[in-house]
Amino acid sequence: MAKSTKGTKNKGCDDSSCLHVNAPKLDDRQAPLDVLEVDEDDETLSLEGRRIVGVERRDLEAPISTLIDCSFQRCDLANIGWKGSRLQRVAFVDCRLVGVDFTEEASLEDVTFTGCTLDMATFDTASLRRVVFTNCRLDGAAFGGTKLEGVAFPESDLARCDLSGARGEGGPGAIDLRDALLAGASFDARLLRVLTIHPEDAATIVAALGVTVAGGRARTSCKS
């Protein structure tokens, strides 16, 4: 795994490209949760220091939820609605998150997705700070109006992923696309100054912006 995807902070690291994603601080005294239930009074979900394993809860609406220091493992949370929610130091491992909704200015900070399926996930208007998608599939995921600061996608498939309108906060390197599969992804020209890519991916990024990439020399005449 590249240095930019470390899961824990190393104070001795002086690599400016390292994201230093802080890992969850789990309370191992509590047994893992095998069910998710929202508060009946205000329909919110608040968890701290918990490990959630093998939960299958689809189409759950849990707006304005707060998840701090949590780990989700092998969960099926398809179409869950986390609109306007706050996630801090949360890890998702081998989870199905198809259609998950992080709209309405949801906040994700120090969040990792590893081996997850996030097809058609929506992050429109959300804020992502130090968020890493490792070996994930984000086919058709939408990032319109999303604030991205220190976000990386190593070994993830961004096919048909829409990054048009996304905003790279914090300047150059805010969005790291090294080792990501970019075929069919959409980009906004304004993102160019904040992207980090491998040199061989330059043609793919330029083509995604509508520029024709061709070899050879320009022909000034059909006889040339």
* Predicted confidence (pLDDT) per residue in 53-63, tens digit: 999 988 888 77
Taking the C-alpha atoms of residue 139 and residue 100, their distance in angstroms, rounded to an integer, is 13
The upper half-sphere exposure of residue 48, i.e. CA atoms within 13 Å in the direction of its Cβ, equals 3
Taking the C-alpha atoms of residue 134 and residue 189, their distance in angstroms, rounded to an integer, is 25
Reported confidence tier of residue 1, pLDDT bands at 50, 70, 90: very low
Other CB atoms within 10 Å distance of the CB of residue 132: 27
pLDDT at 17 over 70: no
Q: Could you tell me which of 97, 78, 87, 107 has the C-alpha nearest to residue 136?
A: 97
Whole-number pLDDT of residue 8: 40
Reported confidence tier of residue 204, pLDDT bands at 50, 70, 90: confident
In a domain, 40, yes or no: no
Whole-number pLDDT of residue 60: 85
CATH code, domain carrying 67: 2.160.20.80
In a domain, 34, yes or no: no
In a domain, 68, yes or no: yes
CA distances from 172 to 64, 191, 196, 214 (A): 31, 9, 8, 28
pLDDT at 224 over 60: no
pLDDT at 23 over 50: yes
Whole-number pLDDT of residue 15: 58
Tally of domains within the chain: 1
In a domain, 19, yes or no: no
Taking the C-alpha atoms of residue 146 and residue 30, their distance in angstroms, rounded to an integer, is 35
In a domain, 23, yes or no: no
Furthest CA-CA distance within the chain? 79
What string of DSSP letters covers 29-76?
TSPPB------TTT---EEES-EEES-B--S-B-TT-EEEEEEEES-B
Taking the C-alpha atoms of residue 140 and residue 131, their distance in angstroms, rounded to an integer, is 18
Q: Which token pair is 113?
A: 């997705």
pLDDT at 133 over 60: yes
Taking the C-alpha atoms of residue 42 and residue 75, their distance in angstroms, rounded to an integer, is 24
Taking the C-alpha atoms of residue 180 and residue 175, their distance in angstroms, rounded to an integer, is 11
Q: State the residue range of the domain holding 135.
A: 54-210
In a domain, 43, yes or no: no
* pTM score of the predicted model: 0.86
In a domain, 74, yes or no: yes
Whole-number pLDDT of residue 85: 95
* Predicted confidence (pLDDT) per residue in 69-120, tens digit: 999 999 999 999 999 999 999 999 999 999 999 999 999 999 999 999 999 9
Whole-number pLDDT of residue 108: 98
Whole-number pLDDT of residue 19: 73
Least confident interval from 37-51, 71-85, 201-215: 201-215
Q: Which token pair is 104?
A: 């309405």
In a domain, 27, yes or no: no
CA distances from 60 to 35, 40, 101, 174, 224 (A): 12, 13, 10, 31, 64
* Predicted confidence (pLDDT) per residue in 140-188, tens digit: 999 999 999 999 999 999 989 999 889 998 888 899 999 999 988 888 8
